[in-house]
Structure 1
Amino acid sequence: MHSLEGFVLRALLLVVFATSGWSSPKTFNDEESGSLDAEGAELEPLIINRGPYFDKTASKNVTALVGKTSYLNCKIRNVGNRTVTWIRHRDLHLLTVGRHTYTSDQRFSSIHNPMTEEWTLQIRYPQRRDSGIYECQVGTTPPHGVLMTLSVVEPITTLLGGPEMYINKGSTMNLTCIVKHSPEPPPSIYWTHNGAFVLQEINYDSPRGGVSVITEKGDITVSYLLVQRARDSDSGKYTCNPSNANPKSVIVHVLNGEHPAAMQHGGQLRLEYPLTACLLSVFVVVLGL
């Protein structure tokens, strides 16, 4: 009798659930797609009890300049009370645990921003030896991590024609500065003459005139300093100063009829010899024959 009453009660409950539109609870997981809203657009899936996961939009390749502080950003969702660590793969050295530095190299430190859920490894005064793979790891069971590659580069500045250049008085002086291996073009390049800024020392409004700087930025950045109608006062030390690379200098000699061992011609160097030296060379060759 009791079993019959229980059967009838269960049947009545099923009828009530079916007519009221109720349904049994459903568990969502990471693999399920979202439902659709009234306009047919896909909604974000409902996640229940999801553990920590990494934001895959963060860059996994970072290029830094030698000596300039660099940052590796790791964004983790739902980290909760789990510990985040940074590991250097070159020697499997534990660098930071949470916000604490776990290495004697105090150039490494961890920065946490709860608002953005980011855990950032800061590297001060990076050197080329710091290049390599780093892992941001969260303390789950088993641990999960994301790998990032740091490339520390040192831009190279070259000044064509150095370390000394000779030009004739009245000709156009063309100094060419080239910056290579920079992750981005230098924001600015300025020139100095004997320690003073060129375009302040000799500006367009001064009687000197004829001085201009042309800079072409790109993977390889080139800056030209043009000085027309060179005069004796234009001799001296010229330095090309990129804002993100090492400076480079050249000593310019403006000559008035002299014949040095090297002269600038059309932006290139050409050897020149006095007439007596040329005749002596011919005489030696003739004797050798």
Structure 2
Amino acid sequence: MFWCRIEMGILVVFLLLGSVTARLTDSNQVPRKGTPSFIQPIENASAVIGRDAMLNCFIDNAQGFKIAWIRVDTQTILTMNENVISRNHRFYIDHNKLDRQWSLSIREVKPSDQGWYMCQINTDPMMSTTGYLEVLEPPQLIESGISPDLEVREGDRAILRCQAEGNPAPNITWMREDKRRISGGQRHGATLRFKRVSRGDMGAYLCMAANGIPPIVSRRIHLDVLYSPVIHINLQVVRASVGDKISLNCSITGNPTPSLYWEVNGKPLATDSPNHFLRKFRRQNGIFSNLQVLLTVESDRIVTYQCCGNNSEGKAADEVDIHVIERISYGEAPKVVESEDPPEETAFIQGNPWEFQDEQIPHIQSGKYQEYQSESSPGLPTNFHDNEPKPDRDWLFTKTSASTNLVTLSTTCLLAMSSLALFT
């Protein structure tokens, strides 16, 4: 009992000392001049991630009162008067007595800093006002929400996906890399849908995400459309004489790139034949082939040439019939029958199919004929005429030259007849 009384006495002494100390401390504070008040509400603030942010609290008659900044959602005291309570070194307080301003600053804001902040005065009852800090984030693509390069068959459905995050939420826009119009006109949203893809939809697409906070981010997605071969020969029916040359042009497209081969009357074309000269040129998703044919006396009356192609999606073929007729005039020079340039809608290869880098296909313009075999340009093999008698040099004349020779021959005949008449 004695020790209990001593302990109780010591406790009372400590309480009395504490009360006296509190009174002495209050007597050293700045006297309160009146009831404090907030001059204006806290203005909401926003800052881009990584930059500094500031919330301002304006108070009138704050002398003698304690001002604190508190994080609302966690009820964490950040500052008290001009002292920083939080252990987070990114928070600091700025007090401007002249403007009666208490500013809470946050260095290098993070997404976790977004939320409500309270400016509080320790009145009875407590007075407070709140402000919101928004942390802006540039768009970022969500890798798990982005489609890989896609391969589909023509006529099937296809969906391209692209997801992004940021604050504010990004807007997603689609466009073709080649600037062509997207079929269906759909350009906005996280998904790009094709009800029935066509070969015209094939290509690279760009998914772009933007929310007003730079930079704009994008991703390239390639759509590959598989389709069976499409073949076109410009000539369908040709009438030509023995000794004439015929140039056949065949274009084939498809995905995957198809293989191309020729047939004659239903049989594979013999590539070592002296009467044929074949060249192929590979282009994007297709092949362009030029076949030159020399008609001989052994040729059938009707010869059918067929250009064929196949890939994993199917087969296709196109053909031309050559009707071989006898030459009407003995003195008429052999001619070259050549197809016209392929129309644009059937030329699926890039650029002009007549413009080749390494060699030029001989071409007829304005009724003139370029010799296929010459010293200055590549042409037919030297054995092109091995099975035929060597033609006269007149065989290589232009059509214009052939007409001139006929006029000259007629003039010579007239002169000879005139001389014969004089002798008579």
Normalised TM-score (structure 1): 0.41
Larger radius of gyration: 2
Normalised TM-score (structure 2): 0.31
